[in-house]
Structure 1
Amino acid sequence: MASNKLTENPELRFATVLAHAAALPGVRINREAYLRQALSRHCPEEQIAHAIEETPAAAGIPLDLLDKVATDSIRYETAKVSALSAAAGAPGLLFIAATVPADLAQYFGHVLRIAQKLAYLYSWPDLFSGDEPDDATKGVLTLFVGVMFGVQSANTAVGKVAGLISEQVAKTLPKQALTKGVIYPMVKKVAGYLGIEMTKQTFAKGVSKAIPLVGAVISGGLTLATFLPMAKRLKKHLAGLDLSRPSTVTVLRTETVKDA
């Protein structure tokens, strides 16, 4: 019965895969450790510390530098997920029932990894406040994946969330808006769309794995052809938001101090 519900409810299907992917070892990105490692070759220690304590935008790190670091992270995650996908495609038809679910989980695990990395570079707050992702985190990750899949409503929703973070000069996600407020229905709509697209992707990956060794080449190539443009799409959208711009953050902070 549970299996039938997953098949019939695309929103639930995506939510289940998202939860499984988020629970995989190595998927959660430590914001402080990542920013320190990613910026260490480009920024002085004082500026890195400021970026960690506040945001890269508040630390005055130029957007073109953040774009370069983001591109490096995208290349790293793309190479890693493509190699793993190719390895999963090697066994062929005999093991297809086992390899496709595993490949799907690790694929979305890397989708979540790059989404977190890009978010932290472009001045989003820590997405994981505890051991398990809460509903707000699941909501914003769903929207990020939606942007990666080219869902226009996800672009709009991410822009609204970024606006709320800027307005509140917040170091946390706007949980009320993401779980009960105006953005929540958009999250549900995006999750439903992603559940449908995910079913199509599972089928495509299954077909690519039907022939041993040849399936590895096709599977790895298919992953490369989908993951790279998706990551670039999210990078472009996050970089274009006011939240990533140093001047906007500085003005907001100044106005907040004056009002106080």
Structure 2
Amino acid sequence: MDEEKKDAAQSFELVLSSAARLPGVRIDREKYLVGALGKKFSLEVVATAVESSPAAAGIKPEELSHIADASIRYESTKVTAISAVAGIPGGFAMAGAVPADLAQYFAHVLRITQKLAFLYGWDHIFEGTEEEIDDETKNLLILFIGVMFGANGATDAVTKISNQVAAAVARKLPQKALTKGAIYPIVKKVAGYIGVKMTKDIFAKGVSKVIPFIGGVISGGITLATYAPMCLKLKDYLAGLEVANPDTYVVKTIAVEDVEEYEA
């Protein structure tokens, strides 16, 4: 990785860590799933979804689509409003507005990432972490966000991790895979890619904020035009993984005659 991308990766990881510390960023998985699934599915199904996953409860990805879309609309509305308000002051006030706007943007990226991950079979993402996110959590989030941004390698890396989780029907993520081996270099490349994109986004929004009031409309428009499509991209991708497929969790019983034949 060249120096420019290395610096960009470090900048993005810093922004990500800062966004993760903002109030309201961390989603309570149980509370979210109960609220999101409770209106459509039975208490028994919701309980299984919370205990294991919606897929393990027999809920198909297509049944979750409108719930995911509702969460995307909610987060899109909030982040767009914040971005528009941040652009209103104009002039030299943008020097302080851009970093705050950026942190809020990625805070909502983290919020929707968690919600979509929970719907499509992933377990607690921030579990066991306090103010600082650990390397495993950070690297997984980078890969998820990389999928949203269209970063090369992000989808393949998440697919490999998902397959490991699905194969083991595990509650815990394969942490070593996220900090060592073939996936770790991909994480760094993805972080560099996002960092470069992030820098360009700062410039675009910074220019728009020079114009008072009108800048707010422009900034909000840029945010809406980028945020919602990226969320939908992540949604469609996660819905297609093995960990989101109910068939992955079906226990296949061996016929009695097969057992008797084996024992004989």
Consecutive unaligned residues in structure 2, runs of 5 or more: 260-264
The answer to whether 1:245 aligns with 2:245 is yes
Give, in whole Å, the separation in 2 of the partners of 1:211 and 1:124. Answer: 43
Q: Tell me what 2:161 maps to.
A: 161
Q: Shift of residue 11 of structure 1?
A: 1.3
Does the Cα contact within 8 Å between 1:151 and 1:190 map onto a contact in 2?
A: yes
How far the C-alpha of 1:48 sits from its partner, in A, is 0.6
What one-letter code is carried by the residue in structure 1 that aligns with 2:202? T
- Give a deviation string over 1:17-58, Cα, whole Å, max 9, x none: 110011110011111111011111111111111100010000
Give 3-state SS (helix, strand or coil) of 1:91's partner: coil
Displacement of 1:133 in angstroms is 2.1
Number of corresponding residues = 251
8 Å Cα contact 1:7/1:13 also seen in 2 = no
Identify the match of residue 118 of structure 1 among 116, 119, 139. Answer: 116
Distance in 2 between the 1:146 and 1:213 partners? 32
Find 1:89's aligned residue among 87, 90, 102: 87
- How far does residue 152 in structure 1 lie from its aligned partner after superposition? 3.0
Measure the CA separation in 1 of the matches of 2:176 and 2:40: 37
Corresponding letter in the other structure for 2:48: H
Letter in 1 for 2:16: L
The SS at the match of 2:71 is helix
Per the TM alignment, residue 182 of structure 1 is displaced from its structure 2 partner at its CA by 2.0
Which structure has the bigger radius of gyration? 2
Amino acid across the alignment from 2:54: P
Match of 1:44 in 2: 42
Cα RMSD (Å): 1.8
Contact 1:6 1:13 in 2 (8 A): no
Q: Is the 8 A contact 1:147 1:155 kept in 2?
A: yes
Give the distance between the partners of 2:65 and 2:182, measured in 1 at CA.
31
Change (3 A) 1:6 1:97: farther
Aligned to 2:184: 184
CA contact (8 A) 1:11 1:194 kept: yes
Q: 1:185: Cα distance to partner? A: 1.1
Question: Distance between the aligned counterparts of 1:157 and 1:8, measured in 2?
Answer: 20
The normalised TM-score by structure 2 is 0.91
Unaligned runs of 5+ in 1: none
The 2-side partners of 1:7 and 1:163 are apart by: 29
Identical counterparts, % of pairs = 55
Q: Take 2:251 and 2:85, find their aligned partners in 1: how far apart are those partners?
A: 49
Query: Could you list the runs of 4 or more consecutive aligned residues of structure 1 that deviate by over 3 angstroms after TM superposition?
Result: 5-8
Q: Secondary structure at the match of 2:212?
A: coil
